[in-house]
Amino acid sequence: MSIIEMKVPTIGESINEVTLSQWLKPNGSIINLDDPICEFESDKATLEFPAEAAGKLIYAAEEGQDLKIGDLVARIDTSFAGKEEKAETKEAKTEAPAAEKPAVLAKAVETSSSYAVGSPSPAASKILAEKGVDTDAVKGSGKDGRITKDDAINAEKPAIEVQKEQAVSEKVTATAFSRNERTEKMSRMRKTIASRLVSAKNNTAMLTTFNEVDLTNINAMRVKYQEAFVAKYGIKLGYMSLFAKACATVLMEMPEINASIDGDNFIFHDYADISIAVSTPTGLVVPPVHNVESLQLHEIELKIKTLADKARNNKLTLDEMKGGTFTITNGGVFGSMMSTPILNEPQSAILGMHSIINRPVAINNQVEIRPMMYLAMSYDHRVIDGSSSVTFLVRVKKILEDPMLMFIGLV
């Protein structure tokens, strides 16, 4: 008998501990090489742990257990390798003769019963629907087994269905005035998010400045070119790529917005790596799109989609989570009208998008209904002066309200 020990591997430079969030294979099951056997949750991402050999899986840790790098997770008994395949082959051979039975017999059985069996008349069908009784629970007394109106009137729900309904009713009654409480352990990612948010609030001089943007021209552009854009690039032109491109354009003009603090030094970046906030079942993640200033709109859209899909399926790698010089978060997808986003350290600024609402605004001293969005930019006052934050937001607003400026180089 040969036993392979599966231990927590080295995941990243800054990660010393993980949580075994869930087993993907049952204890004692026969697994193949590279089968994912469990998931680890680190401070930054959820990662699958593949089997290092084929054989019988033996648990050595429990779900929810915190493990350090090098701790034992499971053992694999390789003497069981391949036994599942043999069992499946034997089972297939046993069932083979049954599959070779003549089709004539099946046809005879099929034609022995009439299509009318279990079929309700129109009147019966209506009555059964009103009573909530399934036709399978009613025995027809009509010709060829058809369900008649009288059958439907006399039909009752099976006792088990009635019991289920009563149980549901009792549960609702019991919980309507419940005062029960439950305790649930915070996930590792949620703890990390909480720690980072508190750190950003306590360790930065954070302020928020607001403005609003009229999206009339952007909406018109999307309507006019959307079909051609999709036909050429295979993806829709969304708001996020336009906002990201506008921000990247202004970040290149105003390097202080794109900077961060390192001790007593400022670090300036000659590129715009824009982190896009993505909501996942385990928390908010902010993977960056690199060099947005150099990308075209369809490239930005494709990269955002790839990162968002990976984030929601817990497939983001640690490298894909690193970096970022500026963040955009869109609370508008959840209906937020206004918010004050919290900084994503060590970045010095974050832009908050919100719901697009048709509101009356004054245009050339005339009241018009326009698609308006409130913008909020939180920033670290240690790095960014108030005048710079206002100027940045005004410049972004100008580009978004007249997006052609961006494409013909007049911004």
Residue that has been written with the tokens 């007394």 in this structure: 141
- The residues pairing with 6 across neighbouring beta strands, listed in sequence order, are 74
Q: Can you tell me the distance from the alpha carbon of 323 to that of 329, in angstroms, rounded to the nearest whole number? A: 16
Residue 16 to residues 9, 70, 293: CA-CA distances in angstroms? 10, 10, 35
Q: CA-CA-CA-CA torsion for 384, 387, 393, 395, nearest 10 degrees?
A: -110
Q: For residue 237, what are the contacts with CB-CB under 8 A and spacing of at least 6?
A: 222, 225, 226, 229, 230, 297, 298, 301
Please choose, from the candidates 95, 73, 83, the residue with its C-alpha nearest in 3D space to the C-alpha of residue 32.
Answer: 83
Scored b (16 or more CB within 10 A) or e, 347-368 reads bbbbbbbbbbeeeeeeeeeeee
Catalytic residues: 381, 385
Question: Could you please report the per-residue DSSP string of 142-194?
Answer: SGGG-B-HHHHHH----HHHHHHHHHHHHHHHHHHT-------PPPHHHHHHH
Give the pairing type, strands 326-330 and 349-353. parallel
CB 253 within 8 A of CB 334: no
CB 297 within 8 A of CB 237: yes
Q: Can you tell me the distance from the alpha carbon of 397 to that of 211, in angstroms, rounded to the nearest whole number? A: 8
Question: Could you please report the per-residue DSSP string of 195-215?
Answer: HHHHHHHHHS-EEEEEEEEE-
CB atoms within 10 A of CB 271: 16
CB 280 within 8 A of CB 304: no
